[in-house]
Amino acid sequence: MLKNTFRKWWDLRLQIALLGLAVTAAWGVRQTQGAAVFEVYNWVTRPFHANGSGQEELISARTQELQAQLLELENQNQKLKELLGYVSAKKPKGIVAPIVGRSADHWWQQVTLGRGSNDGIKTDFTVMSPGGLVGRVVSVTPNTSLVLLVSDATSQLGVGITRSRHMGFMRGKGGNQAVMEFFENVPNVKPGDVVSTSSYSQLFPPGLPVGKVVSVDMNKTPAPEAVVEFSAPMNALEWAVVYPHSKQAEPNDSQAQSSAASEGAQQQ
């Protein structure tokens, strides 16, 4: 009798201890943003990673991206010709990374890349793919990095119409579309216009191609809205290129450049 009660009590205590241990362990995993889990995932799925065979399919998307980029650069060039003291910035070299996983739940639009801090990726880096802007790195482990896509409802970015240079901000709608809200009351915009990131956007460098305007609603209050379709195929991503970008580094860079420019001017 006594032995039985003791045994029951002991079982209960063991159960509580096990459950407590499980909760603590899960809490630990959550606090480290699942670093261990993603590392294991990367290791397990390594044989199935894309190996570049599907790249031909993406060439047409790549052409579209280049066209959009050209249009953007032409317009930008025109503006810049009017300005003095312009120093051309060198485009940084990108890190090519395979996409090894999608979002682990249904409410977030995320992808996992198969490269991490070992390859030099840091948080806040910009992620591009054939077609245009894809998203932003939100967390990094040694061999993987988690990317928040621009199609997520929480990622807002400053964008502009390339043709008319009218500005606004864009909010992801999930899937392949986003909604752009204009700052002007009567913006010069029509379906087919190319949308790119503006210099107002803090999380992304300016001038990256984002997508095309599909439809415009001028009567929307408080501001006119346009539906934008991403030029990158959000649902069929296989590869991405990660470019360095950080909010802190930029002012320093431009300061360094402007001081170098003034030095050059003094020497002349």
Partner 1 sequence: MKALSRMSSRSRQFLNFAVTFLSVMLCILILPTRMPGMELLGIGPNWLLIWLVAWSIKRKRTVWGAASMGLVLGFLQDAMTAPHPTHAVSLVVVGVLTVVLQKTWSIPVDIVERDPIPIALIVFGMAVVAETVMGLQFFAMGDRALLEIWSYHQRVALCSAILSSLWAPVIYFPLNRLWEMTRNLEKP
- Residue numbers at the binding site for partner 1 (CB under 8 A): 15, 19, 22-23, 25-27, 29-30, 32-34, 37-38, 40-41, 44-45, 100-108, 110, 112, 138, 153-154, 173-175, 235
Counting beta carbons within 10 angstroms of the beta carbon of residue 105, is it exposed (0 to 12), middle (13 to 18) or buried (19 or more)? exposed
Quick one: CA torsion of 65, 69, 70, 76, rounded to 10 degrees?
Answer: 170
- Which tokens in the block code for residue 245? 């970008």
Residue closer to partner 1, measured from CB, 28 or 120: 28
Judged by beta carbon, residue 46 or residue 79, the one nearer partner 1 is 46
Do residues 198 and 206 touch, judged by C-beta distance below 8 A? Answer: yes
Closest to partner 1 by CB, 94 or 124: 124
Q: How far is the CB of 29 from partner 1 (least distance, A)?
A: 5
Least CB distance to partner 1 at residue 35 (A): 8
Distance CA 68, CA 131 (A): 9
Taking the least distance from each CB to partner 1, the nearer of 19 and 218 is 19
For the bound state, the minimum distance from the C-beta of residue 125 to partner 1, rounded and expressed in Å, comes to: 18
| Cα within 13 Å of Cα(43), Cβ side | 8
Task: Please identify, using beta-carbon distances, which residue of 45 and 117 lies nearer to partner 1.
Answer: 45
Nearest residue to 203 via CA among 174, 245, 240: 245
Give min distance, CB of 147 to partner 1, in A. Answer: 12
Shortest distance (Å) from residue 9 CB to partner 1:
16
Q: Confirm if 204 and 157 have CB atoms less than 8 A apart.
A: yes
Q: How far apart are the first and last CA of the chain?
A: 101
CB of 264 to partner 1, least distance (A): 46
DSSP H or E stretch at residue 182 = strand 177-182
Asked, as a colleague might, if the bond just before 205 is cis with ω within 30 of 0, I would say: no
C-alpha torsion sign, points 243, 146, 247, 128: positive
Nearer to partner 1, 37 or 203 (CB): 37
Among residues 23 and 89, whose Cβ is nearest to partner 1? 23
Cβ of residue 230: shortest distance to partner 1, in angstroms?
13
Provide the b/e sequence for 177-193 (b: ≥16 CB within 10 Å): bbbbbbeeeebebeeeb
